[in-house]
Chain A
Amino acid sequence: MKKLLILIFIFLISKASYSQVCCGGGVYDVAVLSLNKRALFNVGYKYDNNLGVWDSDKEWRKISQTSYQMTPAFSGAYRFNKEFQAGILIPLVINKNELPGLPSDGSGIGDVVLSGRFEIFHEYSLYKDKGKILTDKKTPYFAVTFGMTFPTGKSDEEAQSEVGISGKGYFTTSLGLSFIKTILKDKIQIGSDVNWQHSFTKTYEKYYGESVPPYERRQGERFNYSVTANYLLNFYNSVSFSLGGFYQSDYSINGTGISNSDESAFSMVASYTWYPKTYVRVSPLIKWNIPNTGYGKNATGTVLYGLNLVYYLENLEDL
């Protein structure tokens, strides 16, 4: 049972959907607790190397300069009861973009994310039938997820240059569903996550620190999706592979949609997890886009390397 719960945890935490701060939205890892854990503390690191962009015709445009973003982050989560848990993510954003005559380095606190999930069903729950305690082998894990991103980072309104951008500058909410089903007990699981992100309108009175005639901008509605398969090698090791992506509708300026500004991208994530102790997890991951024409639109294509170190507190209560 413990293995299974750990697997669930790995599945949830290994989802990584991320994009450039200045272009489109991004969903950070959400720290998620299994039933037998009360709280977790996670120190994560990501190195996101920009390869290029897809233009509005979905043509892949490779970039030649050194351009990357590093994101050390702290996250924590707390389980309140069997159904409800909440988490927080506090990232530090470090940007590098080497172009002649332009600032090449910048950093700052990123946008803080609060998240939560309401777990409606758990796999392998125990139930009573005619006085006997049985295990439910049919019901999948199912949860409603929600969250809010706070504009604590520096956006293009106040930053002095692109590398100084560490946040979006506006509030974002998310609402989604999370599903997991074990195919082969203690070996293979599949799961899927979907969520809808809504961004609130931001009024710009400055742009890169200079006053501009006020205007309102709002990011389009965004839909994220992923499908993941997990394979447990043994009690100490597991691997997962995920296919995912997003679609985002046109953004708007002063209430008017800008045609052909919708965004999309497709990505893959592979991760490995090592459990040296029941309360420690080490998980490197790699996420990559396919840098070819047709696999994205108005989005940045990257290769991301990540590492998460998790320490968690056991849940000693009987849930």
Chain B
Amino acid sequence: MTKYLLLLISAILFASCSKDNAVTPSDPSVNNYNKVLTVDSANLKVEMYSNNSSILYVGYNEVGFKFYVNNEEKKTGIFKYTPIMFHTVGKGHSTPVQPEFTYDYSKGMFTGYVCYSMLSDSLTSFWFADYNYNDEIYMRRKPFDVVLGTGNQMRIWLNPVDTILYYLTLITPKDPVVGLNDFKVILHQTYDQTSYSEVSNAQMFIRPWMPSHGHGSSSNVNPVLTSHGMYEGKSNFTMPGQWYVYDSIIVNNQTITTPSFYLVFDAR
């Protein structure tokens, strides 16, 4: 079975690397968005951008897309991006991503976010993506790479009560400082790891804790919903060093973070 999976992956990889399906990493920037890659296929072209980075990282990424048909850029309609992770062993899966990307004229591209749940490697784990414009034009199974980045964090856990898999992804702070920090996360749920939905009815309670000193902090602000699935509050790191931020989450009057977990920060 493993042999067949390897063959399948290899076939996909070779197919994706054909001349008229070229994926070209490049890095011109637009409004702080750096080009991550270009996907060409016949008369279609997709340019993918990432905010303040020319690399895609595990965790939260603000991304944008420019889509061309016959070298004409599309500036209306809806763009959809579906990353898919294939493994040489085990089931493939997708990852939380904004359901629809709309065109942002100020940035000159279709913008949104994607939260990659893991990194790619050249042996066992391969990221591919499907691109969709207005549910009319499709580009399928184009490979790309995701690497680990400092500051990005994601927690994935199965709630045994409702058997829903939850994904909590940190947006900020990625470079925490001593004092008050904007604490922003996005929460997703999935039943099948193929389709993900933003959870917009959660209550969150954060508690920073400095494990090496045995104390927490005051003046924290619990995150509240600001847009689809996104929650924003404040976390107070009173001194330099490593801090844990416990996030207790209630959805539909049920605590879904049992046992509790934390995000790790190094305040400077």
Chain A bound to chain B = yes
User: A208 interface residue, CB < 8 Å from B?
Assistant: yes
Residue in A closest to B241 when the chains form the complex, CB atoms: A55
The answer to whether B216 touches A207, judged by C-beta atoms less than 8 angstroms apart, is yes
User: B259 interface residue, CB < 8 Å from A?
Assistant: no
User: A162 interface residue, CB < 8 Å from B?
Assistant: yes
Return B242 CB to nearest CB of chain A, in Å: 7
Report whether over half of chain A's contact residues are helix, strand or loop; otherwise say mixed. Answer: loop
CB contacts (< 8 Å) of B242 on chain A: these are 55-56
Return B178 CB to nearest CB of chain A, in Å: 6
The answer to whether A156 touches B241, judged by C-beta atoms less than 8 angstroms apart, is no
Binds A, one of B17-25, B70-78, B207-215: B207-215
- Complex Cα–Cα for A53 and B212 (A): 12
Binds A, one of B45-53, B138-146, B232-240: B232-240
- Complex Cα–Cα for A208 and B216 (A): 9
Our pick among B215, B219, B241 for the contact of A22 (Cβ within 8 Å) is B215
Contact with B along A62-104 (1 / 0, CB 8 A): 1111000000000000000000000000000000010111110
Residue in A closest to B238 when the chains form the complex, CB atoms: A162
Interface residue ranges, B against A (CB under 8 Å): 178-180, 211-219, 234, 236, 238-242, 268
Ordered by A's residue number, 19 sampled pairs between the chains whose C-beta atoms are within 8 Å are A22-B213, A22-B215, A23-B239, A53-B241, A55-B212, A61-B240, A63-B240, A99-B178, A101-B234, A102-B219, A156-B216, A162-B238, A208-B218, A253-B214, A258-B212, A260-B211, A261-B212, A261-B214, A298-B212
The answer to whether B236 touches A102, judged by C-beta atoms less than 8 angstroms apart, is yes
The answer to whether B218 touches A161, judged by C-beta atoms less than 8 angstroms apart, is yes
The answer to whether B218 touches A258, judged by C-beta atoms less than 8 angstroms apart, is no
The answer to whether A63 touches B214, judged by C-beta atoms less than 8 angstroms apart, is no
With A61-B268, A101-B180: A52-B212 Cβ-Cβ less than 8 Å: no
CB contacts (< 8 Å) of B180 on chain A: these are 99-102
Residue in B closest to A208 when the chains form the complex, CB atoms: B218
Per CB-CB distance, the 5 closest pairs between chain A and chain B, nearest first, are A61-B240, A99-B179, A208-B218, A56-B212, A161-B218
With A23-B213, A55-B212, A260-B212: A65-B178 Cβ-Cβ less than 8 Å: yes
Report whether over half of chain B's contact residues are helix, strand or loop; otherwise say mixed. Answer: loop
The answer to whether B213 touches A261, judged by C-beta atoms less than 8 angstroms apart, is yes
Contacts beyond the supplied A61-B241, A100-B180, A159-B218: 6 A-B pairs with Cβ under 8 Å = A56-B212, A99-B178, A102-B180, A258-B214, A261-B212, A261-B214
- Complex Cα–Cα for A253 and B180 (A): 26
Return B249 CB to nearest CB of chain A, in Å: 16
- Complex Cα–Cα for A163 and B35 (A): 46
- Complex Cα–Cα for A61 and B178 (A): 11
User: A241 interface residue, CB < 8 Å from B?
Assistant: no
Q: For A64, A99, A103, A260, which residue has the most chain B Cβ atoms within 10 angstroms? A: A99
Contact with B along A200-238 (1 / 0, CB 8 A): 000000011000000001010000000000000000000
Return B86 CB to nearest CB of chain A, in Å: 39
The answer to whether A258 touches B216, judged by C-beta atoms less than 8 angstroms apart, is no
The answer to whether B240 touches A52, judged by C-beta atoms less than 8 angstroms apart, is yes
The answer to whether A53 touches B219, judged by C-beta atoms less than 8 angstroms apart, is no
Residue in B closest to A262 when the chains form the complex, CB atoms: B212
User: A142 interface residue, CB < 8 Å from B?
Assistant: no
CB contacts (< 8 Å) of B236 on chain A: these are 102
The answer to whether B211 touches A55, judged by C-beta atoms less than 8 angstroms apart, is no
Return A67 CB to nearest CB of chain B, in Å: 9
Return B218 CB to nearest CB of chain A, in Å: 4
